Chain A
C-alpha cells in the first residue's frame, strides 16, 4: 500500500511538526522560500523540479530538517510513481518484445530477445528469462559483448533460482570489456556478493569514459544504489536522457527505407524506483534526528522501509508513531492501515484483513478507505467486505474528495485484471477538464489507467496519457515506444479518415 498525501488536504491534516513549521515559516520566508516552493511543486507532481529546488537550497541549519522531511516525501512519491510506471511498462514491453520475436519477416530483430530476457528478469520471471538468455548466448548473430551480457543475466537468473555457485561461475566466466564489467558489478551488487568499495571502483572507473551508453548508465545507477551511494546514482540518472533507447537495432535496406527498432531497458524503472526509495530513506532518517520532525519522518519512514522490504524496522516506526499522543486521527488510522499491510507481508494475513475490514466498516474517511483498498490491492487480498463497504461510500460520494478512493478501487481491479471496472473507477476519479495533466490527476493513477486502456486495446487512450506525461517524465518514452509497437501490430482498421 502506498500512502499518498492528497495535496490539497496535506498541510492541515498532518504533520504536526511539518505543518506548524511550514505555516510558521511562511510569513518570514515569503513566496521565495524554497521549502514552500518545493511543496507547491510537489503538489503539482513536479517531483524532479521540487527535489532539485531543495537539494540546491542554502538553508539555515534550523530549517534543514524540515527540508529533509519534504525532500524525503518527494523522493518517496517519485519512487511510487516509477514503480507504477514499471508495472505499466512491463505489460507493454514484454508484449512488444515477444511480438518482435514472433515476427516472420526476414529482418527479424535479434536483440529483442536479450531485452525480453532482461525485462523478464526485472519482473521476477527467472524461468522464462533463463530460456531467452541461453538462446542469446548461443546466437551467432549477436555481438560477442551482448552474448557476454546475456551470460551475466544468466548468472542473475541462477542467483534468483538459489544456485549461488552457478551464478558465481557464470559471472566469473564473462569477459572484461567495460560494459560487461559494469553488468557484472551491477549483478553482483544486486546479489550483495562483492564488497561495496570494489563495486564502486568499477563504477567510478566507468564514469571516466567520455560518453556513457544508456545501458552503462543504467548499470551505474544500479551499482551506486546497491552500494549505498544514491547521490552518485542520482547524478548519473540526471546526466543522461532517461528516454533514450538502450539499443537501436538498424537494418540494411535492400531497397527503400532502412528499418530501425528502438529497444529499452525495463530494469531502468526498477532501478529508479529503488534509487528514489533509498534517497527517501536517507532524507527521512536525517529529518527524524530532529525532535520536531521526528513524528512526521517516522510516519513516512515506515512506508519507505516497508517498500524496501525492511518489515521489522517499518513495524517499529509505525508503532512509535501510534504510541504518540497528539497525532492527527486520520493519520493514526492510516498508520494502522499500514501496520496491517506489514502484518500481511509478514504472513499474518487473517489478522491484516480483519483489521482492514473493521476499519472500513467503522470509518468513512475516503483517504483512509483509499489506503485500505490500496493495501488490499498490494497484498493481492480479496477484501470482499472492504470492497462492499467502499463501493457504497464511493457511490454516495462525489467530487475531488473521492478522487483518490476511485483511484484505489481502480488499482485494485487493475491488479485483479478486471480492466473494465478498473477503467470505470479511474475514469470516475479522473478530472476530465484536465484529463492528462499531472497537476490535476495523480500520474500514478494515469499510469494505471493507461495500462487498463492498453490491456483492453484502447491504445490511443493510453498513448495520449503518456504523451503528456513524457513532458515531465522522459523515462516513459520506453512505454510509449512499446505501446506504439504493439498498437501498430494489433490494430485492425480499414484506413479511414474523416472531417471531424
Chain B
C-alpha cells in the first residue's frame, strides 16, 4: 500500500506533515474526499473540499459559524448530493448512493440538533440502529416465528451492551424524548454505533454539556475508537475537546479548507487565528 497522497489544497499556507496517525500510515484511508463542492443557487456552500481520514483516526472539522461544516456532513451522508467532486468510502465511490445506502456502506452520524425517535423507548432507538443487522422479515414478525424470538433476544442483548458504553442501561425503558439533554446526545452516538459503521460522524457532540460531562465524553470517544477500531470525524466548537483528542484537524472557512494539520500546528497557524479572531491591525 502506498502512502496517502498529499491533497492539493489551494489555501493551505502551512505545509502540514501527514495528519494521518502513524498506525494508519500504511493503510488506505477509510474516507477520501476529492474536490468536493456544492452550490445552493449562486452560492458555493462548500468549495474544493479535499480530505482523507485514516482507518482509526479521530479527526476534527472546525471553523467559524456558517463555514459549511454541517454541510460537509450532509454531503458525506448524501442528505445533499454534491454538485462536484468525489467521495470515496473505503475506496468505493458513493456517487450513486442515497442516505440509506451510505449508512449500509459504513457511515453513521449524529445531528447538531438532536434527532431521536422521541416517542420510542431508549432501547427501541438502539434497536433501530441495529435494524439492518436483525435477521427476520415482516412475516416472521406478524406470525411470531422462531426467528422473531431468537433475533429479538439477540438484538435486546446487543442493545443493552451498546447502552452500557455510556452506562445508560438503566434508562432502557424510558422514552427517548424524556431524557435529559446530555443523555440524548449520548443516545444518538449509541444509535449511530449500533449501525456498525466504519466511520462515525459526530456533529457537535459536546454542545450543551458542562466541562465535566465534556471530559467524560472525550474519554468515551477515545474508548469507542479503541473498542470498535473505527474512524471518527467530529465537528466541535469546544477547543479543549478538539485539541485534546483529535489527531488531525481541518479548518473550514467560507466553505473552503484554510488549514490542515495536527492540533499544535493548527493552534499556531496565523491563517486560522485570522479566521477566528480577525486580522491584527498593522502597527
Query: Does B bind A?
Result: no
| Interface residues, chain B, with chain A CB atoms under 8 Å away | none
